[in-house]
Structure 1
Amino acid sequence: MTVLHLVRHGQVDNPQKIVYGRQRGWRLSERGRQEAEAIARHLGARPVARVYTSPLERAVQTATVIAAASGSEVEPREDLSESLLCAPWEGRSWRDVRTRHAREWARYLFRPLEVCDVPEDLRALGERMAGALRAIAAAHPGQQVVVVSHGDPLKAGVLALTGGDLGELHRNAIPTGGLVSLEYDGGEPARIVERWVPGRR
């Protein structure tokens, strides 16, 4: 049974609350670095075979901390990158989005399956992440691996592999530095075996 430890990157240094999406240059805040260290400690002595990560800086930073603690290697994968559901808003503040695009904002929050005027809709995101996680699991039968990515992609991947409803994307969202672990044997649905958040037991 393969165990996939799915980790959302730590908090980003973003005092202006910008929608950064796939923009480059966004790195962890001090709190985000602490979250990365906390998840590395939580994973502790588990035999992590490899740490896969989104290629975006905030994820790579988080993955590097985890890999250093576990003695494993970091491998970036493009198919673990950020969602494009908010791509039209990149570079704007969340406040501006809520004010100027209230209808679209509400659709994203409460009816995400209806968000279709984007480069990759939610169903495609779920397929991308499920495919990435299946491939990673197939490469590591019976092992434990860490996958560092972003909030929406991770939640979509979890829902896709566990047979959940993609429309519940924002229900029980994974916070920064949070962990969801899945047991996966190649068949579906996968089984959630752990949820963990920094600062909580």
Structure 2
Amino acid sequence: MVASQVHLVRHGEVFNPERVLYGRLPGFRLSELGARMAEAAAADLVERGRPVVRLIASPLQRTQDSAAPIMAAFGLPIDIDERIIEPANRFEGKRMGGTGGALRDPRNWPSLMNPARPSWGEPFTSISARMLAAIDDAFHSVDDGDVVLVSHQLPIWMVHRTLAHERLAHDPRKRRCDLSSITTLSLRGALPVEVGYANPAGPLLVQATDVGAV
């Protein structure tokens, strides 16, 4: 037996007043708005009436904070999986745009030479492979019920594009993976397929700042 569904939940808005790209840097927690977003994601999962039996999160603070309302709603511990973490990148701690932004500094241009890889961080193929391995293990880690993985925008988007048989290189501005969104997978035979996408924090997004992801 395996899990019925795996839900990929993105973290909520992060407190990031300097608007830097935070990547894997420590200490970046949810903002007050982000906490409300995380509550909305947990409420959405509860309202589905699905039997969530396991909760897994990336080790970063913002995903731990986002998993907390799900933990409380279903009475589950938060297991950690390093494979669903945000990719590392060369621009962590820097502001990307505007006056003094990293994109205007010629010293950073070599890192922008190959966006199809991408040249500034972990290859898209690597992100996809580790996420799919974690998802496969999640499906096979329980005998029944659903598993929730709380992760990050780019890792979740790599799963979407892989399962949709699309090129992994893409325009980051066109990712369909909003803050506290939920991408749902099920198995078709031995392979995962995407069966749903929900945006429970949608009404809160107009107030949100989302500039910290690669």
When normalised by structure 1's length, the TM-score is 0.85
The number of residue pairs the alignment matches comes to 194
- Of the three residues 132, 138, 156, the one matched with 2:140 is 138
Shift of 1:141: 4.6
Which residue of the partner structure matches residue 105 of structure 2?
Answer: 100
Given residue 148 of structure 1, which amino acid in structure 2 is its aligned partner? V
Q: Distance in 1 between matches of 2:166 and 2:200?
A: 21
When normalised by structure 2's length, the TM-score is 0.81
Which residue of the partner structure matches residue 63 of structure 1?
Answer: 67
Residue by residue, what CA displacement relative to the aligned partner does 1:63-103 show, whole Å, maximum 9, x if unpaired?
Answer: 1111111222210111111112xx11111112212322686
Q: 1:161 to 1:169 in 2, by over 3 A?
A: farther
- Of the three residues 117, 128, 131, the one matched with 2:130 is 128
- Contact map agreement 2:8 2:148 (CA 8 A) in 1: yes
Shift of 1:7: 0.5
Q: Distance in 1 between matches of 2:21 and 2:32?
A: 19
- Contact map agreement 1:25 1:57 (CA 8 A) in 2: yes
- Of the three residues 157, 160, 178, the one matched with 1:158 is 160
SS in 2 for 1:52: strand
Q: Distance in 1 between matches of 2:110 and 2:140?
A: 38
Q: Distance in 2 between matches of 1:185 and 1:36?
A: 29
C-alpha RMSD of the superposition: 2.3
| Unmatched 5+ stretches in structure 1 | none
Which residue of the partner structure matches residue 116 of structure 1?
Answer: 119
- Contact map agreement 1:155 1:169 (CA 8 A) in 2: no
Shift of 1:139: 1.2
Q: Distance in 2 between matches of 1:157 and 1:97?
A: 28
Given residue 6 of structure 1, which amino acid in structure 2 is its aligned partner? L
- Of the three residues 42, 50, 53, the one matched with 1:49 is 53
- Of the three residues 152, 168, 177, the one matched with 1:174 is 177
Matches within 5 A, 1:8-19: 8-19=10-21
- Contact map agreement 2:116 2:170 (CA 8 A) in 1: no
SS in 2 for 1:7: strand
Instruction: Give every structure 1 segment of 4 or more consecutive aligned residues whose post-TM-superposition deviation is greater than 4 Å.
Output: 101-107
- Higher Cα radius of gyration: 2
Shift of 1:165: 2.6
- Contact map agreement 2:56 2:148 (CA 8 A) in 1: yes
Which residue of the partner structure matches residue 26 of structure 1?
Answer: 28
Which residue of the partner structure matches residue 4 of structure 1?
Answer: 6
Q: Distance in 2 between matches of 1:104 and 1:16?
A: 25
Q: Distance in 1 between matches of 2:74 and 2:171?
A: 30
Sequence identity percentage: 29
- Contact map agreement 2:187 2:193 (CA 8 A) in 1: yes
